[in-house]
Amino acid sequence: MTPEPTPESTPNPTHIEAVPQPAVDTTSKQTKTAIKRCASPFRRAYEAYLRSKPGDEYDKTIASQRASPAYCKALPPLVGRENIRDFIACVAHGILIDAIPEKKANQLLYAAQVALATLQREQRPRKTA
């Protein structure tokens, strides 16, 4: 039988200190442009579908599913560090706006991970024998 936690041993979330995060420019002009390039065709396809429907929650879900390929087709190519960064930002944004379903998002993020690992491997200096 495990003992009941005492108030002293139970972590108190109010006593957890926030660790300052490093300053990262997450709003670069290039990244914003990439997200807009993906979101615009998605929004057009989404709104086009809803114009022909009443627009209830079911229709919005179907509209999102129908517009998802437009978003994915506009993703940046996985070539170069900046494009890979923008690809990841676009996928994350697509997840947040329900433009990319979970299974597809997992596949896309894995592809970005492989591309980034390949890029890093290519950029390492080769050892001479």
pLDDT for the residue numbered 120: 86
Q: State mean pLDDT over 34-52.
A: 92
The number of beta carbons lying within 10 Å of the beta carbon of residue 1 is 3
The closest alpha carbon to 38, from 64, 74, 69, belongs to 74
pTM of the model: 0.71
The residues spanned by each domain of the chain are 28-123
pLDDT at 6: 52
